[in-house]
Amino acid sequence: MAPRASRRPAAAAAAVVVAVVLAVSGGVGATPETACRAAAEEDRRVDYEFCVSRLSHHHDSPDADTWGLAKVAADVGVCIAGDAAYDAKAKLQAAKAGAFADAGVAPSPLERQTAESVKIAIVCTAITNLPCYTAALLAVAVLGVAFVDATVVTTCRAAADADARVDYGFCVAELGKHHDSPGADAWGLAKVAALARCGELYRAAGFAFAEAHDDINARDYAAGKGKAADAASLARQCDAAFAAGKDDAAAAPPVIAQHGSYAARIAIVCTAITNLIE
């Protein structure tokens, strides 16, 4: 009889979990704690403590049912993405200052309405499509900061070979106009490009989380979960922008990497809680 008695606590615990999941899925007595517990049972990737902490601090949580908490999770994602975009912009300004100081030149905006802006846009596209030198030289093309060395010459030649629209002479002249600054740091310029890219990606992630909120609000749960997944994917692309540097020094700044982790975790939470109301 002893074995039978030993199974009672486990059976009771399982019954409690089932009861919580059923109650939450019906929107009965949903709180961040019960919703996050049920979500963690639904998806083992859910970080329970993170889920409770983030959802509990949202102003809509106290009166929200399960449906409402799924929307809260999406809205938290909007906030995380917004914070990431803000921090990426701040880091970008600092990185620009460092890159321009190293290069000994001041940044100048591209005049997009001129013929030269069309040419430089073509150069940017062509360099982006090349397997090598992409990040550093893309920053050079976009920001108007450069240095002349074999990289500029060979890359402009490769870009011209890949895209007949590239004006090779213009490419070398524009990217190498500041040839009196041979000490410019290519990876510093690469970091500028990566941070600029991250800012764009997190702005897009914020819109994706906002669309997830609207889809869940309209009870189009499949679309909402898809948008949450899109947002997480966009955040991961920020890390990839730095990883392209193939150098530990080119890793995403800790604050940016943390936002990426948070974005991925809240997307999982949003999806798992949404699954509870289907």
Q: Which pLDDT value is given to residue 247?
A: 53
Q: Are 262 and 80 in contact (CB under 8 A)?
A: yes
| Whole-angstrom distance, CA of residue 248 vs CA of residue 232 | 23
Compute the residue count for the chain.
Answer: 278
Q: What DSSP assignment string belongs to 2-70?
A: HHHHHHHHHHHHHHHHHHHHHHHHTTTT--HHHHHHHHHHH-TT--HHHHHHHHHTSTTGGG--HHHHH
Answer with the residue of higher pLDDT: 239 or 7. 239
Answer with the residue of higher pLDDT: 35 or 4. 35
What is the arithmetic mean of pLDDT over 202-214?
96
205 pLDDT above the threshold of 70: yes
Mean pLDDT rounded to a whole number for the chain: 75
95 pLDDT above the threshold of 80: no
123 pLDDT above the threshold of 90: no
141 pLDDT above the threshold of 60: no
pLDDT tens digit string along 149-197? 445 667 678 778 888 888 888 767 766 553 433 443 455 556 777 888 8
Choice among 87-101, 111-125, 207-221, 226-240 with the minimum mean pLDDT: 111-125
Q: Which pLDDT value is given to residue 180?
A: 34
Q: Which pLDDT value is given to residue 74?
A: 97
| Whole-angstrom distance, CA of residue 126 vs CA of residue 161 | 9
142 pLDDT above the threshold of 80: no
For the chain, which domains are there? Answer: 2-87+195-276 (1.20.140.40), 105-183 (no CATH)
pLDDT tens digit string along 13-49? 444 444 444 444 544 458 999 999 999 998 999 999 9
| 261: Cβ contacts below 8 Å, ≥ 6 apart | none
Q: Which pLDDT value is given to residue 148?
A: 41
Q: Are 127 and 155 in contact (CB under 8 A)?
A: yes
266 pLDDT above the threshold of 80: yes
